[in-house]
Chains A and B, each alone.
Chain A
Amino acid sequence: MTWKMKEVVLAVILSVICGVIYLGWSTLWLPISSLVGPVGAGFMFGIWVIASPIVAYIIRKPGAAFVAEVAAAAVELLTGSHFGLSALLVGVFQGMGSEIAFAIFRYKRYNLLTLMLSGALAAVFAMIYNLLANGFGYYSTGLLLTTLGIHVVSGIILGGWLAKVVVDALAKTGVLEQYAIMKERRKKGDINGHVSGL
């Protein structure tokens, strides 16, 4: 399955927007985490992995989830803020996690379940990175498991479920007509009367 040019640009631009929103999210996260610790602030984690399920759900091609998270992370690198290169590395790990969820189903199933799984696996992979790089290994095992649990739940809800809510709302505005998500719906005979933005 080769990518069309418009799918490539779409994947990049959606990820860039997610990246821009992530930046805003970070400023919200910092003060909270210093107060309640990384564990308590973990409930906000899911937003950081939302780019993958959003893009994969729309474009439905192998690699979409991975590319999305890496491109979103590149925004942090390019705006020169926060974590620079390490953001890129986290992005690579999270992207791999998300991608696996869709690969398991051979890129054939794009529903709430796979989206949620993608959010959960992104959380698991982010934790692997944190163990390697950010010294999470120094936390007590109990604390570590709690953090992982919170991240996974947050990834499922804020990553997977929210991605579906957002894309479904987006589909109603009629801008997705030229992409896989709407083509598949049309195939199923679910024709709606919305017009693409051209």
Chain B
Amino acid sequence: MKANTSFLATLNPSCKLFAHLFVMFLLMNITNMKGTFFIWILAVLIGIFLGGWRITYFLKRLFPYFGFFVLIFWMMAAFGEGQETIWQWAWFHITKESLNHGLTIALRMLAFVTYGLLFTSTTDLTLFIMSLIHQCKLSPKWAYGLLAGLRFIPLFQSELNQMKTAHKVRGYKEKNGWKAFKRYALPLFTHGIRKSERIAIAMEARGFTGTKNRTYYRTTKIGSRDWAYLLSLVSVVIGMTFL
């Protein structure tokens, strides 16, 4: 998660998160396809005009989800309830209603993903955590603990890949899901536990107490532009629900 140089990147992360989560809650209550579609388009427009997205970036990042979009649509359409049957084969059963629902839900998912991307592509992780301390009153112990752990995501991803390669050499193929989980989890966990113990000790040895009794190198505030974004986004989205 890294910030870019757009307008959205200058906003307070917690405030931005709250705004987007609020839109998502509204989306959950909107059952018509048109409204959902417009709210999704709004996210795309915000991304392009305020989020510093290039069209190519946006397409590249969202493209993988179009497959998912089709899938959700299919699942809703083929397994949903409805009266007017359009197509039926084996256990698949598509009705007019389920088709409509499928499209709404798929668009809602797509909108969720887009609002999520809007947040992650314009937010710096450290600042986000700092704003959780300053605006959401999260205790420094948890905030810094979170940061310390989250920086290891790439490491564990590469360890997981190394394990896959190693298993290839040894000719290991596991068809049994839970056994596979145990195989991968055990070495990763033992590594992780040792690391976590060392990090915690290193942090405390450097005088970290976890209390609020400290100064901050990076601070975040909520300003007028944060309010402006929050209020205008929410009012536009509410306006759209009446379309």
Contact = CB atoms under 8 A, between A and B. Distances in A.
Q: Do chains A and B touch in the complex (CB under 8 A)?
A: yes
Interface of A: 3-6, 8-21, 23-24, 30, 33-34, 37-39, 44, 47, 50, 67, 71, 74-75, 77-80, 82-86, 89, 132-135, 138-140, 143, 157-158, 162, 165-166, 169-170, 173, 175-176, 178, 196-198
Contact of A17 (B101, B188, B201): B188
Interface of B: 1, 17, 20-21, 24, 28, 61, 68, 71, 74-76, 78-81, 91, 97-98, 101, 104-105, 108-109, 112-113, 115-117, 119-121, 125, 141-142, 145-146, 148-150, 152-153, 156-157, 160, 177-178, 181-182, 184-186, 188-190, 192-197, 199-201, 203-204, 208, 210
B192 A83 contact: no
Q: Is the interface of B mostly helix, strand, loop or mixed?
A: helix
Q: Is the interface of A mostly helix, strand, loop or mixed?
A: helix
A34 B105 CA distance: 16
Nearest to B67: A30
- Pairs of residues from A and B, 8 with the lowest C-beta to C-beta distance, nearest first: A84-B116, A12-B149, A6-B200, A8-B145, A135-B105, A85-B116, A13-B196, A197-B194
B177 A24 contact: no
A37 B195 CA distance: 40
A74 B150 contact: yes
Contacts of B185: 17-18, 21, 166
Contacts of B1: 77-78, 80
Contact of A162 (B20, B178, B199): B178
Nearest to B23: A85
Given A3-B141, A85-B21, A85-B112, A34 B193 contact: no
B200 A9 contact: yes
Contact of B141 (A8, A157, A197): A8
A135 B105 CA distance: 6
Given A12-B150, A38-B75, A5 B192 contact: no
Contact of A6 (B101, B190, B201): B201
Given A5-B200, A9-B200, A170-B190, A47 B156 contact: no
